[in-house]
């Protein structure tokens, strides 16, 4: 993923990216920068070089991975300051090329792939290599602390704990490493490779490309995620299979160009689905017009045909035309492009909505480092998870930069269907583990996904054959107005104070077959963090026999129905509430509101109170939502207190939620045991990231991943806490969900709970006056390109 130039689909953005040294939290250095370890790192020196006077090394007292902080600053570098780009986004000059948490660059991916390919033991092995993913191998937290203390913003030496003694700060950070998942088509083996990226420079500079294999391991009895190239190969294989062509002719279809084949992973239902073979069980659809590329082909599902494809060899291994179900007649309401919606005429009374930031945005960008309204964090991206938020912290006045979370991401989603008939019973996609949320992300430059001043980030991936592909404008960062932040009017005087709320939104959108999912992290001025998923796209439908109706779905149109189903998402939150990277001082308490028993303490029968319970171990921390008791959970620091002497904390506030509507022996729950509870809490382990295990595709093992990890029942009373929040919605389709579903929203909130001594939003200034707004909306402002409108 690349920190691209600021671009916008209908609005303006900003320029390139570089670094700024900070003298203190929340302020940019305007004079000379003084830093002990701002020297060339393994990633290479950037625009600013660092020189160190003779003898200065002896005065540097700081250690990598938790040594003493420096007591005397020793090296002086040229001043670097924040500057506004030509389009208004403040960009900070960069001192180094790659932070340890930056996503892999295109050059790094190319080097990693070339290194692995060169390490193949034979021409056959090298030819058979297919590259499922190449992702940053994230370093240990002490390396991140060192980088953030001395090499990169926020330049905060206090991140490293004080210890007795001293050590010289290393002149460079450890080399970055890549983790590659490789499927070999010759042997049907999956392997994991770790490659050290010793020296990688952009190819355009003619630099060296070097990588070093650190380890490689064949992982038995697994199948990795499906790749987009395999989707296309599966479709071509099925459409060229003679018995399938004959089956389609029986349904009145002679033109194979009308046929759509969606390659769904096989799941695991019996030994026939074992990972000894790489399988797909595709779903079939058929368009009606060959000259209409935007026709909604999902409006005509093809049922009664059973197909299994061996994806290793691209051959159909099972085929049966089991039942001749007529194709649904073309639905005149099936399309959603302009001029083809209901009635054939689009609305004409929608006036422009103007979004105007005449002075540019309030955020500042340094590569992948973001600062906004006392918040700062880093942006990452992976093929499975998509967007990752690192090192979330809030700059809190004299208390400085206070960490809240080390890593936030959506690590899995599961969509089980509730129709027991073929093929719908086996539709339970693991969209992260089987397909990859990041690899299926969109370029957001094609529409109005974001408005205003926008900072876009590109994403780089390896494709199946080892080439590097880029999704331009993959991640969007922008500000949004969010209504009233707070208000009060004194009824005696009539005087009022009101503030408008603004939030910073970081998002990406992906398409997995028929559905679209937008993943959002919102940061608020009052210290809240909201995680939100927006669901849209097209329903996955089934065909009906004439006169038939289905108990397990909603009839959408003649011969067409939408099965009931659920969508589940798993957010993994590596929390660090008031904890430095090497500290483990967090715990989790559950809060339930109780009604006081009748008696002397409740003579008016109105009393209720909040009861707290410490979750002491992992097995105790398997919990479910309970709206009747306003249940929520608080991550607390065991050693930091607020002005009332209470522990500082952050509260997890559930939104709407549900649990799986399936019996305990449902086959999909073998692979998705993590769906059985809404909350799980574990001790941090760097290798525990994906709740269904790293390879859920055709996984025969029961409850691999989170449901097995917690059996260790590790203590949680004071440790490095990871929250796993499982949230979902039950979708009973409506006619109004057709032909394309209006957005459904679901999510949760992280809210400060005793983290601050008072409202952190009380210092937000009043908004602009009416006169200022009118000036900003003037023809001159519009002409200057400072307005985005729809």
DSSP state of 204: G
The string of DSSP letters for 18-42 reads B----SBTTB---S-EE-TT-S--T
Give Dmax over CA atoms of the chain in angstroms: 90
112 and 103 Cβ atoms separated by less than 8 Å: no
Q: Are 107 and 113 in contact (CB under 8 A)?
A: no
Q: What are phi and psi of 544, to 5 degrees?
A: -115, 145
Q: How far apart are CA 377 and CA 284, in angstroms?
A: 44
Q: How many CB atoms lie within 10 A of CB 166?
A: 17
Residue spans of beta strands (DSSP E) within 150-202: 176-184, 189-200
- Candidate list 425, 515, 520, 561, residue with the active-site label: 515
Distance CA 438, CA 469 (A): 12
**Whether residue 431 lies in the annotated active site:** yes
What letters, b where the CB count within 10 A reaches 16 and e where it falls short, cover 376-386? Answer: bbbbbbbbbbb
> Whole-angstrom Cα distance, residue 611 to residue 613?
7
Structure tokens at 90: 């403040």
Residue 102 among the catalytic residues? no
Whole-angstrom Cα distance, residue 585 to residue 182?
38
**Rounded to an integer, what is the distance from CA 296 to the centroid of its chain?**
28
Beta strand spans in 513-607 (E): 515-524, 529-537, 542-543, 553-557, 560-563, 565-575, 586-595
CA torsion sign, 338 to 341 to 347 to 352? negative
Please give the C-alpha separations between residue 172 and each of 38, 45, 78, 531, 600, in angstroms, as whole numbers.
9, 10, 19, 36, 68
What is the side-by-side strand order in the sheet with 129-136? 129-136, 176-184, 189-200, 209-219
Euclidean distance between CA atoms 218 and 187, whole angstroms: 11
Catalytic residue among 148, 262, 331, 431: 431
Can you give the length of the chain in residues? 790
Residues annotated as catalytic (active site), given as ranges: 431, 515
């Amino acid at each position: 993923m690349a920190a691209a130039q600021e671009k916008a689909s209908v609005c303006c953005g900003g320029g390139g990216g570089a670094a700024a040294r900070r003298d203190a939290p929340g302020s940019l250095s305007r004079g000379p920068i003084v830093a002990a370890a701002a020297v060339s790192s393994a990633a290479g020196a950037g625009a600013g070089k660092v020189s160190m006077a003779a003898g200065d090394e002896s005065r540097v007292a700081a250690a990598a991975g938790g040594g003493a902080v420096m007591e005397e600053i020793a090296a002086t570098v040229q001043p670097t300051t924040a500057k506004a780009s030509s389009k208004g986004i403040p960009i900070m000059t960069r001192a180094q090329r790659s932070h340890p948490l930056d996503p892999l660059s295109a050059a790094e991916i190319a080097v990693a792939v070339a290194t692995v390919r060169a390490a193949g033991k034979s021409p056959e092995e090298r030819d058979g290599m297919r590259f499922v993913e190449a992702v940053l191998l994230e370093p240990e937290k002490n390396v991140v602390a060192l980088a953030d203390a001395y090499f990169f913003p926020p330049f905060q030496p206090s991140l490293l704990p004080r210890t007795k003694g001293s050590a010289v700060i290393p002149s460079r950070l450890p080399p970055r490493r890549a983790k590659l998942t490789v499927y070999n088509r010759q042997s049907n083996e999956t392997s994991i490779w770790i490659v050290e990226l010793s020296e990688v420079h952009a190819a355009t500079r003619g630099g060296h490309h070097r990588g070093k294999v650190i380890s490689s391991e064949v992982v038995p009895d697994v199948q990795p995620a499906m790749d987009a190239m395999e989707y296309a190969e599966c479709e071509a294989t099925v459409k060229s299979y003679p018995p399938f062509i004959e089956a389609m002719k029986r349904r009145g279809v002679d033109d194979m160009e009308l046929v759509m084949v969606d390659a769904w992973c096989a799941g695991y239902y019996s030994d026939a689905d074992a990972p000894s073979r790489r399988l797909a069980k595709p779903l079939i659809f058929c368009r009606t017009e060959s000259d209409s590329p935007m026709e909604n082909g999902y409006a005509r599902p093809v049922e009664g045909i059973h197909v299994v494809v061996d994806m290793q060899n691209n051959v159909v291994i099972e085929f049966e035309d089991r039942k001749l179900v007529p194709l649904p007649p073309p639905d005149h309401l099936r399309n959603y492009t302009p001029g083809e919606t209901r009635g054939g005429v689009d609305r004409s009374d929608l006036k422009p909505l103007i979004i105007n930031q005449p002075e540019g945005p309030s955020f500042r960008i340094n590569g992948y480092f973001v600062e906004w309204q006392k918040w700062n964090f880093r942006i990452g991206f992976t093929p499975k998870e998509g967007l990752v938020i690192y090192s979330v912290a809030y700059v809190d006045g004299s208390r400085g930069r206070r960490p809240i979370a080390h890593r936030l991401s959506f690590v899995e989603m599961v969509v089980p269907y509730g129709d027991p008939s073929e093929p719908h019973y086996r539709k339970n996609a693991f969209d992260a583990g089987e397909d990859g949320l990041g690899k299926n992300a969109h370029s957001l430059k094609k529409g109005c996904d974001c408005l205003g001043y926008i900072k876009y980030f590109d994403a780089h991936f390896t494709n199946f054959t080892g080439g590097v592909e880029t999704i331009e404008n993959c991640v969007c960062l922008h500000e949004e107005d969010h209504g009233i932040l707070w208000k009060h009017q004194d009824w005696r005087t009539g005087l009022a104070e009101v503030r408008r709320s603004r939030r910073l939104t970081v998002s990406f959108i992906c398409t997995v077959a028929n559905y679209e999912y937008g993943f959002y992290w919102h940061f608020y001025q009052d210290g809240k963090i909201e995680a939100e998923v927006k669901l849209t796209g097209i329903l996955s439908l089934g065909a009906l026999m004439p006169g038939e109706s289905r108990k397990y779905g909603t009839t959408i149109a003649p011969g067409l129905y939408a099965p009931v189903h659920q969508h589940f998402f798993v957010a993994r939150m590596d929390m660090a509430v008031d904890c430095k990277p090497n500290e483990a001082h967090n715990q989790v308490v559950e809060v339930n509101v109780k009604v006081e028993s009748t008696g002397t303490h409740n003579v008016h029968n109105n009393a209720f109170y909040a009861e707290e319970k410490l979750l002491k171990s992992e097995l105790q921390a398997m919990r479910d939502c309970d709206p009747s008791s306003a249940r929520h959970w608080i991550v607390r620091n065991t050693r930091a207190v607020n002005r009332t002497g209470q522990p500082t904390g952050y509260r997890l506030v559930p939104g709407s939620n549900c649990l799986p509507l399936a019996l305990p022996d449902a086959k999909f729950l073998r692979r998705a045991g993590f769906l059985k509870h809404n909350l799980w809490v574990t001790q941090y382990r760097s290798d525990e990231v994906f709740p269904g295990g790293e390879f859920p595709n055709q996984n025969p093992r029961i409850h691999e991943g989170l449901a097995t990890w917690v059996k260790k029942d590790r203590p949680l009373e004071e440790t490095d806490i990871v929250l796993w929040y499982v949230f979902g919605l039950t979708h009973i389709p409506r006619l109004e969900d057709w032909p394309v579903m209006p957005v459904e929203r679901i999510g949760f909130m992280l809210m400060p709970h005793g983290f601050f001594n008072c409202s952190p939003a009380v210092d937000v200034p009043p908004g602009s006056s009416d006169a200022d707004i009118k000036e900003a909306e003037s023809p001159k402002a519009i002409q200057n390109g400072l307005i985005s409108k729809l």
